Structure 1
Amino acid sequence: MNTCDAALPAERFAKSRRLAGLRERAERVHQTLAEASPTVVVGGKRLWRTRNHLAEAGLSKDQWRRAWDSARMFLTADGEIGKAGGNETLRVEPGTGLLRIKVPAALADRFGTHLTIRTPAGIARLAQSGAGGVLSSAR
């Protein structure tokens, strides 16, 4: 028996297992997309990798967890020229600083057309336009 012939069944088995895993992964992606609930983690790759090397990063588990949680506490919205307040979906109310969020139509019967966050929003960047401040990013 040739050594190449002996490798074929093992190689075929390994490739069939890899294919089965990829098919299962693709099915999960298709199901997630069909449910319209994709998982998105913005800017988490570096922090996640740091979690596995806390000593090298000079962090404790608690320090890492605080950094991880705070990296996920953000909200952004691009302004729309010509719209009062800059954006119909997300607005910071003038004077009060309260955040007003437009609710998707599918949830409007449960929550109403808008939600107001009762804690004033901290604004990371406010671009000025002829019509006043336009919210471009909030934290």
Structure 2
Amino acid sequence: MSELRAIEAPFVAGGPSGVAVRDRLKNLAAADEQVLRLVGAHLGALACGDLKTRCADGLEHDNQTWAVRKRELTVLSSSRWAGAITKASHDQWALARRCQAAHIADLEAAIATIEHRLSLPVGEKGSRKGPGGYRSAQEWHAKSRRLRVLTDRLQREKADQQAGIVHIVRGGKRLARTRHHLDAAGLTETEWLQKWQAARWFLAADGESGKRYGNETIRITFDGEVSIRLPAPLVHLANAPHGRYILAARVAFAHRGTEWADRIEANRAVAYRIHLDVQRGRWYVTASWQIPPAPALPWRLRSPTG
């Protein structure tokens, strides 16, 4: 008789840690789109340079080097834009490190499986506890060569991990590779370039509790008015006081709109991100905020009689 799978003890799953809602920026004027493109391209170039510097720092990064990067970016943008850019670079580097560790774990698991199957006689059947040998000598030979490839790759990944080296493509590796397969993707070179440029723009600002409407850099009021604090080189494009630019579009978050309104009324932090969907030719703004963790009640088993 086969063994039955053990049932784990019941537990309470944690709730979501954050919320993100999105709305379209409709009825944008031509001047609005031009300003968004200029700001996105300027800040995107700064973000690319800062990410390169952060990756070059590697494991030697500390608060002092972070302060130097932010100070240099402040001259070319603003203090808050510089903070958003440096934090995004730090988060990207940390995410790349986690992905690198996960990739190394996958390689080690694949190598262990192949080594186990190679150690078994050809044609030996597997069981529930483990796989058997390979079906033919030809497959055994192919997998032995595959083992060498994976071993070399694992050595390179571990060397990069120890040296603090990560590989990041700002704009996405998939989109970068699409440049070499435009026919298969159904894109022209111009269409791909538009997507690539839009993916590398930077139009995101973290919220700040205690500041007006929860965000000083990208601000959305109760009536949906969207305004952006322009970086220093583009202040001459401002159409409002204090170097701000007000868009003609109005925003109304249909999903969780009441919750969003409650947050900005209390001046609680709300992060915003503006991006362009090149394929549709539409601009969107995404609002996000964190949800404080709620204490999870322990799962208690009770008898049928209570």
Q: What is the TM-score when the length of structure 2 is the normalising length? A: 0.26
Q: Which has the larger radius of gyration?
A: 2
* Bigger relative contact order, structure 1 or 2 (CA pairs below 8 A, ≥6 apart): 2
Q: Which has the higher strand share?
A: 1
